[in-house]
Structure 1
Amino acid sequence: MDSVEVKLPQGILQLTSCHKNKILLVAGGRKPEMPWLKFTKSDNTVYAVDRGLDYCLEANFFPKMVYGDKDSSDPINWLKAEKAGTECISFLPAKDDTDLQLLLGDLPSESLLTATGVWGGRADHLYANIFSLLAYKEKKKSQVILADQQEIMVLLSAGEEATFIQSEKALVVSLLPLNDINQVSITGVRWPLIKATLQKSKPYAISNEIEESKVKVTCHSGCIGFYLNFEGGE
């Protein structure tokens, strides 16, 4: 499998990837800082979810597509986007799937997807975001990163690895088990693990500390979230 570098303001992620498309998805959760969003846009094709459209326009670019029920975004921005050539897909608020899930269903397979605007807010929204993105990754054979200026998480399946080369020091690094039983390795931290078993019922591999310039994580089996925090907090 080939490797790819993803440049973020906090550092570089080196990932195993066989992607054909580079996508930046801007959702309507915690607002990414504008310098962070402009830097991360780079050469990605941009898609937006509802209020994520407002974030895109504030950063002075239009997405290729926007999905949403228009319950949290500025209606004037929908008109501006449509006039600029953005494909605008709207739904009634009373529906089974979330706006994010509807957009993910139409995104191309084998993509390198960076999703921002997915952190913050209510716990149920975050839970739905993480597992909706995980389902997209598994169904469409894609690599997925959840990121903004405060938090980064790379979703890793069996046989995948990620290396983070930091330019901004992460305060916390954690491995979050997303399957019942997972086998993981992590180096470059205070408490390294080598082919350790990590269970969803006992998520002990949290609040680790980076001690080297590079942190390498391998998911040998199962599925995990490689999580980095840059803001701290209790």
Structure 2
Amino acid sequence: MKTIYIVAGGPIDQLPDLKAWPAPSLWVGVDRGISSMLSQGIKPNIVFGDFDSVEPSDLDIIKQEDFVVFQYPSEKDDTDLGLAFHWALSKEPETIIIFGNTGGRMDHTMGGIQLLLSHKVLSLFPRTEVRIVDQSNSMTARAAGSYTIRKQQRYKYISFLPMSPVVEGLTLSGFKYPLADKDIALGSTLCISNELISENGHFSFRTGILLVISSTDQDT
């Protein structure tokens, strides 16, 4: 399986134009994200959730259409997004992109980031690439290693945030602000809002976990 797109229930105004993205192998709708998808004219193949936030008219569509439905009680040991994500991860596709996870409740946003940081996600890369995407950002996580990042017209800024107590030996080349073998502690803002000056940049580090965020030049 090549790609799975998951649409969660965050604010619809933070969603990109989903139809502008290359067609995935599967569309997965998560609770209110199902309504967001349908509003853009996209029908999910699979739906997850307790469906307490889905528009009543969209619930009727779920009942009438030939969707694969995973329904759960409201009280459970994982979020609706977490359940959908772990299901998608078990399929080991080349790419999982999560839409609709940011811009609303901060706990859900941070929960999505925690999914990016899970050991299984980090260990599956590069076989499976996982990203969270909204109107202005694309984020992913990386364990220690050496990586290439390509310049994209949409994303002017690239930030590197330590997600472990320390990231050791961070080196950046092809960037406006290069680094050479720098240790970055958790809480540092040193590597926010860098820019690529080459078509391809490179970053590497010896230990730790980095959150890599590519952003547009839209101010927040």
Please indicate, yes or no, whether the TM-score normalized by the shorter chain is above 0.5: yes
Does 2:82 correspond to 1:101? yes
Does 2:204 correspond to 1:223? no
For residues 125-204 of structure 1, what are the structure 2 equivalents within 5 Å? 125-135=108-118, 137-138=121-122, 142-159=128-145, 161-170=147-156, 172-183=157-168, 184-204=170-190
The aligned counterpart of 1:91 is 72
Distance 1:36 1:199 in 2: 36
Structure 1, residues 105-160: CA drift from partner, whole Å, max 9, x if none?
A: 32224332111111112322211110023225147653211112211112222235
Size of the aligned set, in residue pairs, is 214
Distance 2:4 2:15 in 1: 18
The aligned counterpart of 2:96 is 113
Distance 2:196 2:124 in 1: 32
Structure 2 residues without counterparts, runs of 5 or longer: none
Distance 2:130 2:176 in 1: 26
Q: Is the 8 A contact 1:134 1:155 kept in 2?
A: yes
Q: Which amino acid aligns with 1:199?
A: A
TM superposition outliers: structure 1 runs of 4+ over 4 Å: 32-35
Structure 1, residues 41-70: CA drift from partner, whole Å, max 9, x if none?
A: 523421121111112212222212111122
The aligned counterpart of 2:194 is 208
Q: Which amino acid aligns with 2:158?
A: V
Does 2:72 correspond to 1:61? no
Q: 2:5 aligns with which of 18, 24, 32?
A: 24
Taking structure 1 as reference, are residues 219 and 21 closer, same or farther at Cα in structure 2, changes over 3 Å only? farther
Q: Which amino acid aligns with 1:126?
A: T
Q: Is the 8 A contact 2:155 2:215 kept in 1?
A: no
Q: Is the 8 A contact 2:14 2:100 kept in 1?
A: no
Q: Which amino acid aligns with 1:189?
A: F
Distance 2:178 2:46 in 1: 42
User: Please, which moves more after superposition, 174-183 or 153-162?
Assistant: 153-162
Taking structure 1 as reference, are residues 67 and 213 closer, same or farther at Cα in structure 2, changes over 3 Å only? same
User: Please, which moves more after superposition, 201-210 or 114-123?
Assistant: 201-210
Taking structure 1 as reference, are residues 32 and 133 closer, same or farther at Cα in structure 2, changes over 3 Å only? farther
Structure 1 residues without counterparts, runs of 5 or longer: 1-19
SS of aligned partner of 1:159? strand
Q: Is the 8 A contact 1:191 1:209 kept in 2?
A: yes
Identical residues among aligned pairs (%): 26
Q: Which amino acid aligns with 2:115?
A: S
Q: Which amino acid aligns with 2:71?
A: S
Q: Is the 8 A contact 2:101 2:109 kept in 1?
A: yes
Q: Which amino acid aligns with 2:92?
A: E
Q: Is the 8 A contact 2:29 2:46 kept in 1?
A: yes
SS of aligned partner of 1:222? strand
